[in-house]
Homo-oligomer: A and B are copies of this chain.
Amino acid sequence: MSSNPRIVLADNQYGKAETRVVRIYRDTDRHEIRDVNVSTALRGDFADAYRSGDQSKVLPTDTQKNTAYAYAKEKGLREIEEYALTLGRHFVADVAPVRGARIEVEEFAWARVEVDGREHDHTWVRSGSEVRTTVVTVEGEQAWVVSGLRDLVLLKSTGSEFAGFLTDEYTTLPETHDRIMSTSLVARWRYAGTEVNWDKSWADVRRILLERFASVHSLALQQTLWEMGSGVLEAHPEIAEIKLSAPNRHHFVVDLAPFGLDNPNEVFYAADRPYGLIECAVTRQDAPDPGLAWATVPGFA
């Protein structure tokens, strides 16, 4: 233990990460499935666990895992936002040393298998690489919900330019007025409150993101992101702000001239690294700023 009184414990949290819960609803022959990855983290009066090893205020991470499973049965697991809110409020309300909780849920999508053109009752195939996400932060009586998606991979084969940019002595990039634009989008949006039709809101935000990506004639990925983000806020008053992180997955036109071939944007090399990375937040001018809703750990990045 540090003998130096000027060295102090600052922000901290602990929990159980990546508890894999699959919930089957089988009240009728037509089963339903929810497949999630849950991470819980608790904040509160835990300094003694660090400074003297006293665990008397520490609810084991194993118990947090048990609670995630038990609540999937006891409280149900339908909309991940509701499930996360219920878990987070439980820890803060029912476990004395806990003052705050962060509950993160990832949901994996399944589509029903079709047999003879009809949806099967109890068989699914994983659909899409994309993951639906939510992070619920509870602090005392308050709660914030940040929902989103990641690994949404998009590509448009025209309707994208990049020209008129700033140059310096290290610039060699030529301008282009027709290129492939592709990204693997991470989008997260903070709800103003907690009374929301979560599934419906999520699906419509996703729809807007896709439609704007497709429809905007893009002068830069930045512009496309702004159109996506502002489009979401315009249509969804229940959302206070949205943050987008978009790698620019470069597709380079291959030079086929050495082989006597023309290549008018038909054959591309899809590069892995490096990649551009554009990150922005779009918010309402009058939105309060609960930065806490976004923090992985308060004070961490």
Contacts and interface: CB of A to CB of B under 8 A. Distances in A.
Interface stretch (A33-41, A78-86, A196-204): A33-41
A104 B254 CA distance: 21
A interface, how many residues as a size bin?
35 or more
A7 B240 CA distance: 10
Nearest to A24: B157
Quickly give the copy total for this chain: 4
B55 A162 contact: yes
B157 A280 contact: no
Contacts of A13: 279-280
Contact of A15 (B66, B261, B276, B286): B276
Nearest to A72: B267
B55 A219 contact: yes
Contact of A166 (B1, B59, B211): B59
Contacts of A150: none
Interface in A259-300: 259, 261-286, 291, 294-297, 299-300
Contact of A268 (B21, B46, B153): B21
